Amino acid sequence: MNALKHSEERLMKVLLAPVISEKATFVAEKNEQVVFRIAPDATKLEVKAAVELLFKVQVESVQVANRIGKQKRSGKSNGRRNHTRRAFVCLKPGQEINFTEEAK
């Protein structure tokens, strides 16, 4: 099991938050995937181990996407929003993560 290779403390810091958006909901229904915001230095294996440890489900695959922060402007000064990293976690058939039940 991959969870044994990584320390539990590190795995608790890998997943930052689930992404709740229209696109994430569409992907979840169509492909049985769940989308998470993850730590910038997290690897696919760490994400897989963290999801299996926290939600007690089996993960089939993980895809990672880096999102560049948008350029923003306030008056004369230019700025940029923070870069984020997302993980698209594909669950094995029959597996499901329900965030409304986990909050209880």
Q: Which amino acid is at 67?
A: R
Q: For 1-24, what is each residue's pLDDT tens digit? A: 444 567 888 889 999 999 999 988
- pTM of the predicted model over 0.85: no
Residue 101 inside a domain? The answer is no
Q: For 19-75, what is each residue's pLDDT tens digit? A: 999 988 898 888 888 999 999 999 999 999 999 999 999 999 999 999 999 999 999
Locus of tokens 């993560």: 97
Strand partners, 33: 90
Domain harbouring 12, CATH code:
3.30.70.330
What is the secondary structure of 23-72 as a DSSP string? HHHHHHHHHSEEEEEE-TT--HHHHHHHHHHHH---EEEEEEEEEPPPEE
Residue 63 inside a domain? The answer is yes
Residue 10 inside a domain? The answer is yes
Residue 76 inside a domain? The answer is no
Give residue 6's domain range: 2-69+81-92
**Structurally, how many domains does the chain consist of?**
1
Residue 102 inside a domain? The answer is no
